[in-house]
Amino acid sequence: MPSQARSSPGIRTPLFLVGVALALVAFIAMFAFGVVFVSRAGVGRQVAIVTAAQDIQAREPILPTMLSVTELPANAIPPKSFVHMADLSGYSAVVPIFKGQVITVNVVASHPDLITGASEYLPIPQGSVAMTLPTNEQQGVAGYIAQGDYIDVIATVNSGLFTPTNPRTLTRTVFSNLHVIRVGPPSTAPREGQPQGVVSSLTVVLSLCDAQYMSWLLVNASLKYVLMSYHDYTPTTAATTGPACPSTTAPEIVGPRQADARWGFTAG
């Protein structure tokens, strides 16, 4: 009897090890089965996704006819993909998009003027044009005019341009509420967090007719820019003092007589 009691622990130890091994094998088998099941489920499930029905060039507005809806395996769909064609209304391509490519948020932009690069679109309203005005520290509010601001333009001229009688210096506000859409020459450096400083040019939006009058003033008058308070901003196409110009029609000629008739430099 004593000899049998001493042999019992030796018998239980191998049985315990066999039980642990069987449990480990069962765990590995179930884990592998789960992985295979999930993988097959992902491959089998199809999801409708928006793809390009044709090649789309960079900066090209995306139209419904350029898109198609394609079903792809769920595990093959890139992140941030579009699932509804209507969600791409008003978007443009940032880079070339090839036929069959899945449309994702990193290849399109909702506003063409947000597309970076030297060939980017300018945010010019329909019926208007962009024009670049020279500026400096004294002329342009010491460099504090920034993209998105609205400015007034003050012109100082000699009345001898209009009449030889009693020549004198005259000053008028000739344009108001001009929208500044760019400051300085384009740069490939990121705009965020960059100090602006004094630049040499301002690009503004105005009508084609106003642009011709502005060209005359740049040659014949001294111009200063006045920065408006942001409380007074009126986000519209350039408002002008005096008779308004047709939006897309340039006058036949602009000279002293036309400028004086518009702004009344010699009146009063």
Q: What pLDDT does residue 247 have? A: 53
Shared domain check, 236 and 142:
yes
Q: Domain holding 101: CATH number? A: 3.90.1210.10
The structure tokens listed for 103 are 């449309």
182 falls within a domain: yes
Q: What is the DSSP letter of 244?
A: P
Could you tell me what percent of the chain has a pLDDT over 70? Answer: 75
**Domain annotation covers residue 38:** no
Average pLDDT over every residue of 212-217: 93
Token pair 């002008």 is found at: 240
The 10s digit of each residue's pLDDT in 72-130 is 888 888 999 999 999 998 888 888 899 999 999 989 988 655 555 444 567 788 888 89
- The owner of tokens 């880079």 is 95
pLDDT at 5 over 70: no
Q: Look at residues 68, 90, 114 and tell me which one is the last residue of a structural domain.
A: 114
Q: Among 114, 139, 154, which residue terminates a domain?
A: 114
Domain membership of residue 235 (yes or no) is yes
Going by pLDDT thresholds of 50, 70 and 90, the confidence category of residue 38 is low
Task: Identify the pLDDT of residue 164.
Answer: 86
Is residue 122 included in any domain, yes or no?
Answer: no
Question: Which residue shows structure tokens 């006045």?
Answer: 226
Task: Report pTM.
Answer: 0.55
- H helical segments located in the chain: 2-44, 208-220, 256-263
Six-digit token pair at 266?
């010699």
| 204 and 154, same domain (yes or no) | yes
Residue with tokens 């967090």: 193
Q: Which pLDDT value is given to residue 193?
A: 42
Distances in Å between the Cα of 88 and the Cα atoms of 115, 136, 146 are: 16, 42, 31
Distance, in Å, from the CA atom of 72 to the CA atom of 78, rounded to the nearest integer, reads 10
Q: Which amino acid is at 145?
A: I
pLDDT band at 6 (very low <50, low <70, confident <90, very high): low
Domain range enclosing 252: 129-263
More confident residue, 24 or 140: 140
Q: How confident is the model at residue 241 (pLDDT cuts 50, 70, 90)?
A: very low
What are 7's strand-pairing partners?
none
Full 3-state SS string of 126-176? CCCEEEEEECCCCCCHHHCCCCCCEEEEEEEEEHHHCCCCCCCEEEEEEEE
- CA–centroid distance for 168 within its chain: 47
Residue 192 banded pLDDT, cuts 50, 70, 90 = very low
**Alpha carbons 195 and 183: distance in angstroms, whole number:** 12
Position 237 scores a pLDDT of 45
Could you count the other beta carbons within 10 Å of the beta carbon of residue 84?
11
Final residue before a domain boundary, out of 114, 142, 157: 114
The predicted-structure confidence for 120-172, as pLDDT tens digits, reads as follows 567 788 888 899 999 998 888 888 888 888 999 999 999 888 888 888 899 99
β-strands 108-109, 150-158 pairing: unpaired
Question: Exposure string (b/e) for 102-133, b if CB count within 10 Å is 16 or more?
Answer: bbbeebbbeebeebeeeeeeebbeeebbebeb
